[in-house]
């Protein structure tokens, strides 16, 4: 059992026992690099958790916890298709599509600017399988658009998000898993034709 699963299980047990577990206290027990993931798991649980017999003020206080608010907002963002997020962030940054294509071409030494612009156009139109977009491209796009890299994570629905509740008799009453990339996303791209660098960036898979 991972540290996140352990902390999540303890939180759920305390919640189901009618206690008022403090989210910040559980987050502080997690390693710094695991706190965001734990916050997301706790936020997901609280969205479906049975509500104890709390008064309205207590429920409101729990719902307004900053860590949970941020985690819920991030979860909602990742339900939005990647194409829509790229378009929104580009417009917010005040960049033309050609600006983005030009910066990508410069960053990756791509010789065909017109083709690069066409690929960006198709990405924003949702014509690429977002699970097959390379992480290199997503990282560079995030930098160009001025957003955190995880803001361009492929959507949870594209990769397959799993969240389920275990049987009542199980030691851990909740098992949560956020799998943003499905196994198919890591498989080699179809070899219908040789891929050049532009193809690898947009449809070669996360590791391309």
What's the mean pLDDT when you consider all of the chain?
Answer: 77
Backbone φ, ψ for residue 95 (5° rounding): -105, 140
Angle at 29 between CA 25 and CA 33, to 5 degrees: 120
Q: Where are the domains of the chain?
A: 3-77, 82-154+188-203
Fold observed for domain 82-154+188-203 = 434 Repressor (Amino-terminal Domain) (1.10.260)
Q: Is the pLDDT of residue 87 over 80?
A: yes
The 8-class DSSP code of residue 8 comes to H
pLDDT bracket for residue 184 (50, 70, 90): very low
Please write the tens of the pLDDT for every residue from 115-161: 999 999 999 999 999 889 999 999 999 999 999 888 888 875 554 43
End-to-end CA distance of the chain: 31
Q: 183 or 74: which carries more pLDDT confidence?
A: 74
- Read off the pTM: 0.55
Q: Which of 80, 87, 98, 177 is nearest to 125 (CA)?
A: 87
């Amino acid at each position: 059992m991972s540290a996140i699963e352990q902390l999540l299980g303890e939180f759920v047990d305390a919640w189901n026992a009618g206690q008022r577990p403090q989210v910040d206290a559980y987050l502080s027990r997690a390693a710094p690099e695991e706190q965001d993931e734990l916050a997301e798991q706790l936020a997901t649980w609280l969205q479906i958790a049975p509500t104890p017999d709390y008064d309205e003020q207590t429920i409101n206080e729990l719902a307004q916890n900053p860590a949970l608010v941020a985690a819920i907002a991030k979860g909602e963002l990742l339900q939005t298709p990647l194409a829509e997020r790229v378009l929104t962030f580009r417009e917010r940054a005040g960049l033309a599509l050609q600006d983005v294509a030009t910066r990508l071409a410069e960053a990756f030494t791509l010789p065909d600017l017109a083709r690069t612009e066409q690929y960006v156009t198709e990405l924003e139109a949702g014509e690429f399988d977002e699970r097959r977009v390379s992480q290199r491209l997503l990282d560079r796009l995030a930098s160009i658009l001025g957003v955190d890299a995880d803001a361009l994570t492929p959507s949870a629905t594209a990769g397959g998000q799993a969240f389920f509740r275990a049987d009542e008799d199980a030691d851990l009453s909740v098992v949560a898993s956020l799998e943003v990339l499905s196994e198919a996303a890591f498989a080699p791209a179809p070899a219908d034709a040789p891929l050049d660098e532009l193809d690898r960036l947009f449809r070669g898979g996360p590791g391309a």
